[in-house]
């Protein structure tokens, strides 16, 4: 099969594309190489893919409708894994426009291309951030999450609603995945695990918010990829037991549509995470405690029961092992002794 992976130069997208190629699939990567963070890192990720004969790359923007349409018509994908987006909670507060363009306009353009193509399954990235002001733990897909506390989260919640409408109107089997704090090799430099590592190795202090009173459902990237790949051949279907009088947000009785959490289901205190990172690096961190940042939440915890029932999803990487793998990659990539 031919699988279109948007965001193929991005963190998760690159790992997914590589796994699919290793599994023998034909992969088309689509990415605009946004300068939001180091483009050299993105190009280095792409070098992992270009040696495969079954990989084709398209450098383009989701907001460029002719380029996106040409990608679909030239390559004829039958499945789409949509991982391209403008990421980051904090940046969305400072610069909202890129989120509106990429995450809303760009996603609408992608849905239109899927509508006019022959897509058997559309999978797209959502986020744990959609739970927003909800404090019922663990977070469940069956909970309402109508109170996002950042624009980034709001755009992803909008993506879920947009995807449902297209699944209903045009019969596109659609699955949304709410990622929980993904970390690992080839990660994003704007994420805490990367920034902490870079600061500790280079002797700079790290900023820990909410005075360290935070926990996260840290999920290793290889476990995330396992879930995505396993779901590719399990397109969403209409839920015959869905009750319109008590609608379940995770599924639909009028559309082949499904939402899943994809996390580790084992929250780790942020300070324990820092300690594990110190152990991997072999150096203590200098910590500057800060108040909670706007748009952030204190805790996340994924209920992945539904994903486990559907595909047997069972993340197996402890945070100590995942961080050790990341630190080893960081030292190799940046040539740190």
Calpha distance 57→12 (Å, rounded): 16
Backbone angles phi, psi at 194, to 5 degrees: -75, -45
* Helical H segments across 30-105, by residue range: 39-47, 65-75, 89-94, 97-99
DSSP codes, 259-293: EEEES-S--EEHHHHHHHHHHHHTSPPPEEE-PPP
Max distance between CA atoms of the chain, in angstroms, equals 61
Q: Do the beta carbons of residue 298 and residue 213 sit within 8 Å?
A: yes
Task: Kindly report the number of other CB atoms within 10 A of residue 291's CB atom.
Answer: 8
DSSP state of 139: B
* Residue 110 phi, psi (nearest 5): -65, -45
Q: What is the dihedral of CA 232, 235, 236, 240, to 10 degrees?
A: -140
Residue in 152, 166, 273, 313 annotated catalytic: 152
Choose among 129, 62, 113, 53: nearest CA to 300: 129
The residue with tokens 């947009």 is 162
Cα dihedral angle (106, 86, 255, 251), rounded to 10 degrees? Answer: -170
Please name which of 270, 264, 277 lies closest in space to residue 219, comparing C-alpha atoms: 264
CB within 8 Å of 332: residues ≥ 6 apart:
none
DSSP 8-state class, residue 36: T
Answer yes or no: 131 catalytic. Answer: no
In this structure, what are the phi and psi dihedrals at residue 121, rounded to the nearest 5 degrees?
-160, 125
333 CB-near residues (< 8 Å, 6+ apart): 44
**What are the catalytic residues?**
152
């Amino acid at each position: 099969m031919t699988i279109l992976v948007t965001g193929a130069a991005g963190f998760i997208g690159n790992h997914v594309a590589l796994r699919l190629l290793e599994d023998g699939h034909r992969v088309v990567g689509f990415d605009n190489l946004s300068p939001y963070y180091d483009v050299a890192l993105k190009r280095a990720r792409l070098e992992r893919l270009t040696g495969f004969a079954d990989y084709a790359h398209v450098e383009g923007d989701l907001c460029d409708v002719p380029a996106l349409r040409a990608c679909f018509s030239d390559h004829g994908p039958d499945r789409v894994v949509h991982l391209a987006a403008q990421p980051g909670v904090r940046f969305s507060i400072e610069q909202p426009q890129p989120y509106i363009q990429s995450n809303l306009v760009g996603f609408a353009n992608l849905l239109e291309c899927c509508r006019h193509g022959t897509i058997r399954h559309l999978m797209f990235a959502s986020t744990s951030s959609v739970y927003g002001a909800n404090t019922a733990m663990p977070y469940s897909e069956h909970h309402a999450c109508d109170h996002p506390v950042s624009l980034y989260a709001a755009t992803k919640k909008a993506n879920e609603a947009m995807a449902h409408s297209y699944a209903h109107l045009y019969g596109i089997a659609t699955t949304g995945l709410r990622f929980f704090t993904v970390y690992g090799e080839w990660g994003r430099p704007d994420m805490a695990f990367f920034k902490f590592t870079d600061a500790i190795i280079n002797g700079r202090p790290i900023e820990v918010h909410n005075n360290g009173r935070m926990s996260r459902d840290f999920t290793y990237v290889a476990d995330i990829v396992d879930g995505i790949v396993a779901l590719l051949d399990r397109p969403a279907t209409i839920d015959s037991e869905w009750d319109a009088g008590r609608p379940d947000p995770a599924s639909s009785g009028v559309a082949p549509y499904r939402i899943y959490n994809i996390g580790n289901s084992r929250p780790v205190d942020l300070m324990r995470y820092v300690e594990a990172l110190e152990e991997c690096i072999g150096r203590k961190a200098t910590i500057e405690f800060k108040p909670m940042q706007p748009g952030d939440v204190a805790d996340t915890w994924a209920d992945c029961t539904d994903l486990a029932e559907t595909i047997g999803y069972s993340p197996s990487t402890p945070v100590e092992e995942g961080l050790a793998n990341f630190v080893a990659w960081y030292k190799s990539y940046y040539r740190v002794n």
